[in-house]
Amino acid sequence: MHKYWLKYAKGENVRFISHLDLLRAMDRAIRRAGVPIAYSQGFNPHPKLSFATPLSVGVVSHGDYLEMELTEELEPQDIMETMNPKLPEGIEILEMEKLDGRKPTLGAIVAATLYKVEIKDDLDNQIQELLNEKELMIERTNKKGTKIIDIRPLIYNIYTKGNCIYMLLATSSSANVKPKEVLNLLSIDNPNIDKEETFCRDENEKFITPLEWLKN
Amino acid sequence: MHENSYKDLLHNVEKPSRYSGNEWNVVKKDLEKIDLSICLAFPDIYEVAMSHLGFKILYHIINSRDEFAAERVNAPWTDFEKILREKNMPLRSLESQLELNKFDLVGFTLQYEMSYTNILNMLDLGHIPVLSQDRGEDAPLVIAGGPCAFNPEPLHNIIDAFVIGEGEEAILELLDTVKKGKKQGLKRDELLRELTKIQGVYVPKYYQGKYDENGVYKGTFPTDEGIPKTITKRFIRDMSQSSFPQDMMVPYMDIVHDRIMLEICRGCSRGCRFCQAGMLYRPVREKNLETLLEQAEKLVKSTGYGEISLSSLSSADHSQIHDLAKGLVDTYKDKGVGVSLPSLRVDSFSIELAEMVQQVRKTGLTFAPEAGSQRLRDVINKNVTEENLINAVSDAFKSGWNRVKLYFMIGLPTETYEDLDGIVDLAEKVVAEYKKHGKNMKRFSVTVSTSSFVPKPHTPFQWVPQFSKEELVNRQNYLKSKLKSRYINYSWHDVEVSYLEAIFAKGDRKLADVLYTAWKKGCKMDGWGEHFKYDIWLDSFKELEVNPDNYAYATPQADNPLPWDHISSGVNKKYMALEYKRALKEEITEDCSFGACGGCGACNNLKYDVKKVRRGQDA
Ligand code: SF4
> In this predicted complex, what is the ipTM?
0.89
> What pLDDT score does A15 carry?
94
Q: Whose CA is nearest to atom 4 of ligand 1?
A: B603
Spatial separation of the C-alpha atoms in residues B248 and A210, rounded to whole Å: 36
Spatial separation of the C-alpha atoms in residues A198 and A196, rounded to whole Å: 7
Closest-CA residue of chain A to B28: A89
- Chain A residues whose beta carbon lies within 8 Å of the beta carbon of residue B333: none
> What pLDDT score does B3 carry?
45
CB A67 within 8 A of CB A49: yes
Is B368 a residue whose pLDDT tops 50? yes
pLDDT digits (tens, 9 = 90+) for B454-478: 999 999 999 999 999 999 999 999 9
> What pLDDT score does B338 carry?
87
Q: What is the 3-state secondary structure (H, E, C) of chain A?
A: CEEEEEEEEECHHHCCCCHHHHHHHHHHHHHHHCCCECECCCCCCCECEEECCCCCCCEEEEEEEEEEEECCCCCHHHHHHHHHHHCCCCEEEEEEEECCCCCCCHHHHEEEEEEEEECCCCCHHHHHHHHHCCCCEEEEEECCEEEEEECHHHEEEEEEECCEEEEEEEECCCCECCHHHHHHHCCCCCCCEEEEEEEEECCCCCEECHHHHHHC
pLDDT digits (tens, 9 = 90+) for A52-94: 988 889 999 999 999 999 999 999 999 999 999 999 999 999 9
> What pLDDT score does B614 carry?
60
Spatial separation of the C-alpha atoms in residues B538 and B407, rounded to whole Å: 30
Is B196 a residue whose pLDDT tops 70? yes
Tell which of B11, B79, B97, B307 to mutate to test the A interface (max A CBs under 10 Å): B11
Residue B53: half-sphere exposure toward Cβ, Cα within 13 Å: 19
User: What mean pLDDT is reported for chain B?
Assistant: 93
> What pLDDT score does B362 carry?
64
CB B433 within 8 A of CB B397: yes
* Amino acid letter, A143: K
Q: What is the mean pLDDT of residues B357-377?
A: 83
Is B125 a residue whose pLDDT tops 90? yes
Q: Residues in chain A, how many?
A: 216
Is A170 a residue whose pLDDT tops 90? yes
pLDDT digits (tens, 9 = 90+) for B242-260: 878 889 999 999 888 888 9
- According to DSSP, the residues that pair with B73 across neighbouring strands are B41
> What pLDDT score does B442 carry?
86
Q: What is the mean pLDDT of residues B23-44?
A: 97
Q: Which domains does chain B have, with CATH numbers?
A: 6-232 (3.40.50.280)
Tell me the backbone φ, ψ of residue B513, rounded to 5 degrees: -70, -35
Q: Which of A109, A98, A66 is nearest to A207 (CA)?
A: A109
The answer to whether the Cβ–Cβ distance between A15 and B20 falls below 8 Å is yes
Specify the pairing of strand A110-118 against strand A164-170. antiparallel
Q: Whose CA is nearest to atom 8 of ligand 1?
A: B592
Tell me the backbone φ, ψ of residue A95, rounded to 5 degrees: -155, 160
The answer to whether the Cβ–Cβ distance between B336 and A29 falls below 8 Å is no
Q: Which of B130, B134, B104 is nearest to B119 (CA)?
A: B130
Is B615 a residue whose pLDDT tops 60? no
> What pLDDT score does B165 carry?
96
Spatial separation of the C-alpha atoms in residues A40 and A33, rounded to whole Å: 19
The answer to whether the Cβ–Cβ distance between B336 and A45 falls below 8 Å is yes
> What pLDDT score does B6 carry?
85
Q: Indicate whether residue B269 lines ligand 1 (CB < 6 A).
A: yes
- pLDDT tier at B612, thresholds 50, 70, 90: low
Q: Which of B145, B143, B183 is nearest to B165 (CA)?
A: B145
Which residues, in sequence order, are CB contacts of B432 under 8 Å at separation 6+? none
Q: What is the mean pLDDT of residues B73-94?
A: 96
> What pLDDT score does B613 carry?
64
Question: Could you tell me where the DSSP H helices lie in B235-288?
Answer: 276-280
Q: Give kind and range of the element (H or E) at residue B59.
A: helix B53-63
> What pLDDT score does B359 carry?
56
pLDDT digits (tens, 9 = 90+) for B263-289: 999 999 999 999 999 999 999 999 999
Inter-axis angle of helices B386-398 and B417-436, to 10 degrees?
A: 30
Report the separation in Å between the CA atom of B262 and the middle of ligand 1, taken as the mean of its atom positions: 25
User: What mean pLDDT is reported for chain A?
Assistant: 92
CB count in 10 Å sphere of residue A178: 18
Q: What is the mean pLDDT of residues A182-190?
A: 91
Is A101 a residue whose pLDDT tops 90? no
